[in-house]
Structure 1
Amino acid sequence: MSVFPFSAIVGQHEMKMALLAAAVDPRIGGVMIFGDRGTGKSTAARALAGALPPIRVIEGCRYNTDPDERERCPEPNPSKRVRKVPVPFVDLPLGSTEDRVLGALDLEKALAHGEKHFEPGLLAKAHRGFLYIDEINLLEDHVVDLLLDVAASGENLVERDGLSMRHPARFVLIGSGNPEEGELRPQLLDRFGLSVEVRTPEAIDERVEIMRRCDALERDPKKFAAKWKGEDSKVLRQIDRAKKALAKVKTPAKILKDTAALCKAVGADGLRGELTLMRSARALAALEGDPAVTRDHVKGMAPLALRHRLRRDVLDETGSTVRIEMALEELFG
């Protein structure tokens, strides 16, 4: 199946901005995308993964280990040879068991040879890439808990069946869902870094342009990919520059106070809101080539970082995004 170029996606600015920020700084904690069916949720995530350059891995390693971290490779006697592979993009199907997600004892080898071997799960395959969960609101809560814990720590620890295995599992977690089919528990939603709301485009011109581009991809995938290769290369260079510059981007004390004041004003639960807003605003500054985080960066990322962390008031019908915009206006003008 041909991957739709990231730069060819029409509209959906907020979703694309969230994915780019998460790609620059995985510590943001992943992206939750809520929206109607057929609005390009999975397309955008796959497109971003497809636009990134191949990664270097140890040949024969089932954990996508970086050759520069050879000592962390769980494979016995890892090869000294190196090869390049596409950035991993792993779909986690509904109904996945803990064994399939985390990894488990290889029963075939255990029964045939009486040996204990670990069979890596989906988390190992997603290491250094993207883990995508469609309809995450329908996934069993205990599995989502496990995923979020590993995504936060960057490491997967499995202790069962007499096995003890630990391996790196750093990935960008992307969840998508349709609110009409059930909501995610607030405790779990809060663990996602950014939350995006996507809607079916209303403008006729946008809808027509989407049809044109999808039709062009179906008719001649190679020609369509070649047409957008230059734009995708710009996105790739932008991400690469942002990653290199991220550690040097300054966050002034005044901006930290603005961030804390905004989170307090909207009544965000806990302190994850401040941390996520600070990190995502810094990632946005790096993407835009700015040396320091400004109030504009904070205002740009505030709805994404905070809308899913607000306490609900049954007497207030105002949506989360509107409440954040009102607070921004009141605090910063």
Structure 2
Amino acid sequence: MITADEGSLMTDAIVVDGVRKRYGARYALDGLDLRVGCGTVHAVLGPNGAGKTTLVRVMSTLLRPGGGRVEVAGHDVVTQAREVRRRIGLLGQHAALDEELGGRQNLEMFGRLHHLGARHARVRADELLARFGLADTGRKAVKRYSGGMRRRLDLAASLITEPEVLFLDEPTTGLDPRGRAEVWAAVRSLVGGGTTVLLTTQYLEEADQLAHRISLVDRGRVVADGTANELKALAGGDRIDVVLRDGGQLGTAVALLPLTRAEISVDVDRRLLSAPVTDRMKALAGVVRALEEAGVEAEDVALRRPTLDEVFLRLTADDEPAEPAAPAEPAAPAKEAV
């Protein structure tokens, strides 16, 4: 298994150069570039139709790219597809489990599909059940599992062959906060062991919590890439938010700030004004003092950094049509025998 410490041998687990994929007259991927470092979590965010799922299908050999180059774990996804499949795991948006079988039986079945001997498959199933906190429920039918338990079992199944690179396509969709936290803990454990994770998600908090780097994708291209803090800086840096007790004093409060009205956002319904700041503590003290001297009563004053939601809305378009369903193409799913 490749770890981040072996960067001298391979610094990038995934390399995508100018990849294209077209459906009819429309490009789902339009010259997209991406680098994913070994032993990291890299999140791909974007609106519906941005190309996220198509990108995962190309990287996992389920779709052939129409142009460009894609390498995963040092192997080309077109000319060395079999080698790629031996080194990856894939967790799709929907669980690939047999509801009537128990958790252990499901894992043993996946092990046998990957040509593990019967004994090896049983040992590996027990290892994964213990790793994901499912040892006590291994004999229970999957249809009796909670949502979080099913997703953890599905994640365990994708790791049956100890993949170097794991693709997670919206892994926590539909889970409650407890189930989502369980999956997050499992992902952190995997990366701690050296696995590289490519994560697509609709939950911006998920990317903020898990990812070492984040790529924002829109219209088939990466429009921004960096750490969460680097991307948040694109939304304008730190801000101070002031909620007034009396919304009728918003105009007075705005006039107290040494900024142009274009720099200050006002939400009348929430009695909120928000303004950019440079020196955080100096700005906080100055605003509080100015409000007190003017007799303007604040219900809450807080410093905050921009959220990924704000970056997402600023950098992505909102009028893109939904991503078309990919036509069926012959390929071996990552969990099947190769």
**So what's the TM-score if we normalise by structure 2?**
0.35
Greater helix percent: which structure? 1
